[in-house]
C-alpha cells in the first residue's frame, strides 16, 4: 500500500523531550473504521482520542486488532495522514494476516511446522528433509507481503519460545515446537522469508516463555531455572533469530530469580541490557510485551512501569495503561535526572533506523526506478491468493493425524445413503467460546459436511447453562446414536489453562459409556488430543489437526468420510 509520508525523519535535536519519548510509545487501536464497532473499549480509544495521541502527542506507532483486511488498509492510510512522523503499524499475526483481519490468509499455528519437521504426522522428512523449513520461509514471505499490502509494517512474530511444558496456557501451539533445534531452525527460516518485504519482524518472548504454567496476561510467571539451563535452552532460539537478522525482540513478563530476583524481565536491566544487549549483542529494537498485562499491572503502577522498562533497556513501550501519563512520567524521570537524555535518544535513534528500513524508498534513502512508478496495491490481487491457499492446504495435509478404523465411518455412511439402516446421527461440537468464534459458523465445514449426511447438530461451550444435562443426557442404549464428536481446544491468552477441559473429557467418557461415539476430531492442541486419544479403543477413528480454520475442518472431515474434495460441494474452503 502506497501512503503519503513526510519527506524525511526529523533530526532528533529538533524534537522536544516529550516528542522524543512519545516516539517510544505504541498504542492499541481497533482495526474497525467506526467507534461503534470497537470491541475492547478499555484498551481501544475512540477516534477523537486516538487522533489526539497520534496528531498532538506524536506517538510512535499503533498495534491493531479486529476488522477486515480491507478496513485496515483504509485505517492505516488515515492514521498515517494524521502523523507528522511515519508510524510503526503493528499486529500480532503469528498465523497470518487473516488470523486478525478477515479476508486475508490464515495459516495453521506455528507448531504445525514443528510437527512436520519432526515427521510425527507423516513420513515426509526422509524424502524431503527441508519441507518444513520451506514452509516456514514461505509462511514468513506471505505474512510479510500481505501485511505490507494493508499498511502494516511491523509483524509481531515469530514466537521463538520453546514450548517444553504441555501445560503452558499462553504459548502452547503458538511456538514452533518443544525442542531447541526445531524452534531455532524454523525461526531462522521464517525471518529469512519475510526479509523480501519492507516490514519488521519480532522474536518473542525474551528470554523464553515456553516453560511456564501461568499466563502472564493474568499473573507473573516464575521461571525457576539455573543460569546454565537458561543459556542452553531458552536463549538459543533468540541467538538464532539475531543471527538471521531479526529486527526487534519482545520481552516477556517473567520473573527469573537466577538472573534477577527483584524485577520481571521486562523491567530488568540485568536481563534486557545485560543479557540481550551486551551478552547476545542485539542491536535492534527492544519492545516490551503489552504493559496492560497482569504480569506487570498487578505489581507496578501505570506510570512507574514505563519508567522501569526504559531503565531496563526497552526502546518501545507497548500498550501502556495510560499513554499520555506514561509520556509525562518518563519526561519527568529525565528532567529529574533519573534517566539521561542520552538514553532516550539512543532508543529513538534505533526507532529511526527501523523506520528508515521500512520507508527507505519513500524517505529518499533508496533509489526509485522512474520507469516503474509506485502503484497503489490492489487488495484483491495481493491478499488470499490461490498460491497462499495451496500453501495452507499443504501444511494442513502434511500435519494431519488419522488413527483408528476410519473406513468403518465411510461404510456406515454408505448404509445411510442407501437407507438400509435407520440410524440416528449426531454432530456434537465443543468449542470454548461459541459466541466469539472466527472459525465456526453456519456455513463452515464442521457443520455443513456432517449436516449434508444427516447429522443433527449440537453445540456446547463453556457458557452453556445446560452443559451437565447435555453430558448426562439419557439415550436408548439398544439403538445408540452415531455421534461424531468435534472438539476445538487450544491454549489461548486469558484462558488460564491449556489442558483438555474436564467437559471435553467427560463428553468422551460418557459417549464411550453409551456406546455412541462414532469418531473424534480434535482441532488445536496436540496435548489435548493425546489425552483424549488415550481414552479411546483402538478401533474408534480419531483425527487431529493443529489448525481450527474452515479449511482444516474440510480436510479433516473429508479424511473421516473418505470423500474427495473434487466431489464435495463444500470444497470452496480448499481455495482455487
Q: Catalogue the active-site residues.
A: 217, 289
Q: Would strands 425-431 and 88-91 be described as parallel, antiparallel, or unpaired?
A: unpaired
What DSSP designation does 256 have? B
Phi/psi at 464 (5° precision): -65, 120
Under the phi-then-psi rule, with left for phi > 0, alpha for psi from -120 to 50, and beta for the rest, what region is 483?
Answer: beta
The Cα 486–Cα 505 span in angstroms is: 12
Instruction: List, as one string, the DSSP characters of 4-52.
Output: ---SSPPPGGGS-HHHHHHTTEEEEEESSSSGGG-S-TTTS--HHHHHI
If you search the block for the grid coordinates 532460539, which residue do you land on? 237
What's the Cα-to-Cα distance from 148 to each of 105, 154, 199, 351, 376, rounded to whole Å? Answer: 13, 9, 7, 18, 11
Measure the CA dihedral 91/94/99/105, to 10°.
110
Q: Which residues pair with 504 in a beta bridge?
A: none
The Cα 90–Cα 347 span in angstroms is: 18
Do residues 486 and 523 make contact, with C-beta atoms less than 8 angstroms apart? yes
Lookup: cell for 154: 511491523
Alpha helices in 152-303 (DSSP H): 180-194, 227-229, 236-244, 269, 294-297
Lookup: cell for 480: 445408540
If you search the block for the grid coordinates 476488522, which residue do you land on? 67
Which of 520, 563, 509, 551 has the alpha carbon at shortest distance from 429?
A: 520
Amino acid at each position: 500500500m502506497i501512503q503519503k509520508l513526510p519527506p524525511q525523519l526529523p533530526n532528533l535535536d529538533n524534537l522536544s523531550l516529550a516528542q522524543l519519548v512519545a516516539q517510544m510509545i505504541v498504542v492499541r487501536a481497533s482495526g474497525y473504521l467506526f467507534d461503534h464497532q470497537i470491541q475492547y473499549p478499555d484498551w481501544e480509544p475512540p477516534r477523537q482520542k486516538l487522533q489526539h495521541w497520534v496528531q498532538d502527542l506524536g506517538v510512535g506507532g499503533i498495534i491493531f486488532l479486529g476488522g477486515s483486511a480491507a478496513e485496515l488498509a483504509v485505517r492505516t492510510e488515515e492514521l498515517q495522514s494524521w502523523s507528522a512522523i511515519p508510524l510503526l503499524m503493528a499486529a500480532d499475526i503469528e498465523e497470518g494476516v487473516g488470523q486478525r483481519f478477515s479476508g486475508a490468509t490464515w495459516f495453521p499455528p506455528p507448531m504445525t511446522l514443528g510437527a512436520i519437521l519432526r515427521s510425527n504426522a507423516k513420513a515426509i522428512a526422509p524424502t524431503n528433509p527441508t519441507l518444513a523449513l520451506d514452509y516456514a520461509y514461505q509462511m514468513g514471505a506471505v505474512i510479510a507481503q500481505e501485511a505490507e499490502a494493508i499498511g502494516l509494517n511491523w509483524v509481531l512474530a515469530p514466537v521463538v519460545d520453546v514450548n517444553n511444558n504441555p501445560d503452558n496456557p499462553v504459548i502452547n501451539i503458538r511456538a514452533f515446537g518443544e525442542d531447541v533445534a526445531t524452534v531455532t531452525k524454523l525461526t531462522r527460516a521464517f525471518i529469512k522469508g519475510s526479509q523480501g518485504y519492507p516490514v519488521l519482524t519480532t522474536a518473542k518472548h525474551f528470554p523464553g516463555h515456553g516453560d511456564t504454567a501461568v499466563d502472564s496476561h493474568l499473573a507473573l510467571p516464575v521461571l525457576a531455572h539455573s543460569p546454565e539451563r537458561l543459556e542452553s535452552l531458552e536463549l538459543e532460539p533468540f541467538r538464532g533469530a539475531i543471527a538471521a537478522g531479526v529486527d526487534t525482540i519482545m520481552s516477556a513478563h517473567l520473573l527469573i530469580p537466577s538472573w534477577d530476583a527483584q524485577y520481571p524481565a521486562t523491567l530488568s536491566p540485568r536481563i534486557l541490557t545485560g543479557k540481550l544487549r551486551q551478552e547476545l549483542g542485539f542491536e535492534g529494537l527492544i519492545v516490551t510485551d503489552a504493559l496492560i498485562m497482569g504480569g506487570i499491572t498487578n505489581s507496578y503502577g501505570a506510570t512507574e512501569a514505563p519508567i522501569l522498562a526504559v531503565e531496563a533497556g526497552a526502546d518501545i513501550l507497548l500498550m501502556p495503561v495510560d499513554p499520555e501519563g506514561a509520556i509525562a512520567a518518563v519526561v519527568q524521570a529525565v528532567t529529574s535526572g533519573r534517566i539521561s537524555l542520552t538514553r532516550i535518544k539512543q532508543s529513538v535513534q534505533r526507532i529511526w533506523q527501523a523506520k528508515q528500513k521500512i520507508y527507505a524508498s519513500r524517505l529518499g534513502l533508496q533509489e526509485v526506478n522512474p520507469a516503474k512508478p509506485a502503484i497503489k496495491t490492489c487488495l484483491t490481487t495481493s491478499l488470499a491468493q490461490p498460491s497462499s491457499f495451496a500453501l495452507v492446504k499443504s501444511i494442513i495435509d502434511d500435519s494431519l493425524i488419522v488413527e483408528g478404523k476410519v473406513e468403518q465411518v465411510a461404510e456406515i455412511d454408505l448404509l445411510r445413503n442407501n437407507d438400509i439402516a435407520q440410524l440416528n446421527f449426531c454432530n456434537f461440537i465443543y468449542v470454548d467460546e461459541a459466541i466469539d468464534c472466527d472459525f465456526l459458523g453456519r456455513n463452515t465445514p464442521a457443520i455443513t459436511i456432517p449436516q449434508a449426511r444427516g447429522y443433527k447438530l449440537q453445540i456446547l461451550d463453556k457458557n452453556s447453562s445446560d452443559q451437565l444435562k447435555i453430558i448426562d443426557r439419557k439415550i436408548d442404549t439398544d439403538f445408540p446414536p452415531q455421534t461424531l464428536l468435534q472438539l476445538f481446544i487450544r491454549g489461548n491468552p486469558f484462558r488460564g489453562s491449556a489442558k483438555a477441559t474436564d467437559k471435553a473429557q467427560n463428553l468422551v467418557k460418557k459417549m464411550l459409556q453409551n456406546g455412541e461415539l462414532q469418531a473424534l476430531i480434535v482441532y488445536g492442541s496436540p496435548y489435548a488430543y493425546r489425552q483424549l486419544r488415550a481414552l479411546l479403543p483402538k478401533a474408534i477413528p480419531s483425527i487431529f489437526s493443529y489448525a481450527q480454520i474452515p479449511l482444516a475442518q474440510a480436510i479433516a472431515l473429508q479424511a473421516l468420510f473418505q470423500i474427495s474434495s473434487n466431489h464435495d460441494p463444500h470444497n470452496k474452503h480448499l481455495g482455487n
